[in-house]
Amino acid sequence: MVAVARDGGNISEVAMSDNDELDMKDLKRRMEGALKVLKEEFAGLRTGRASVSLLEPVQVNAYGGKMPLNQVAAVTVPEPRLLSVQVWDESLVPAVEKAIRDSSLGLNPQTQGNVIRVPIPELSAERRKELSKVAHQYAEQARVAVRNVRRDGMDVLKRMEKNHDISEDEARRLADEVQKLTDRFIKDIDELLEKKDAEIMQV
């Protein structure tokens, strides 16, 4: 059984079963989910340099529904401060331009035929500091999510040991595994943050 808990808008799954059992694959999947969310949030943080991932969060109204921009166009970086968006279906050019303009990225696209040029404005020092703070907040949320998964795993182990489903030694060995998994994902989060911070601060 999987219980779903809402935590301020974030949904976290709590792995449970009628007979308590530690599911390492499930713990890993949930930690990977926290890392995936962080990568998506970082992709939406605009830096002073052009990057293909910048437009990843943009959704385009196309063919009667919303589609990710990269499914209707090819995005390239011809210059350090310029993105080029080649729209495959010319009839979608206005929709793609509108989606980029209406996104929260603060960009001003310019259309030439079926190619949309997107200049990346220079960031002020103040704006860079703000973005860095936001990046640190996103990373901390991801760390908290990973630690919550660890706590769920440790709770299951405690119950298993208490119910004599596993020995004390086995509980200790599994707890070490859960901790190693946690440490690995926290390290990944820290490395992602370091990379994003350097990107934001790069003039």
Q: Report yes or no on 177 lying in a domain.
A: yes
Q: What is the CATH number of the domain that holds 149?
A: 1.10.132.20
Of the two residues 47 and 108, the one the predictor is more confident about is 108
pLDDT of residue 191: 97
- Following DSSP, what letter does each residue of 62-115 receive, concatenated? ETTEEEEGGGTEEEEEEETTEEEEEESSGGGHHHHHHHHHHSTT----EEETTE
Tell me what the mean pLDDT of segment 119-128 comes to.
84
Q: Model confidence at 149, in pLDDT bands (50, 70, 90)?
A: very high
Q: Report yes or no on 68 lying in a domain.
A: yes
Residue pLDDT, tens place only, 36-88: 999 988 887 777 777 888 888 899 999 899 999 989 999 999 988 899 999 99
Tell me what the mean pLDDT of segment 8-22 comes to.
47
Tell me what the mean pLDDT of segment 76-102 comes to.
92
Domain that holds residue 174: 22-43+125-201
Measured CA to CA, the distance from residue 21 to residue 153 in angstroms comes to 9
State the distance between the two ends of the chain, measured CA to CA, in whole angstroms.
50
Question: Are residues 154 and 138 part of one domain?
Answer: yes
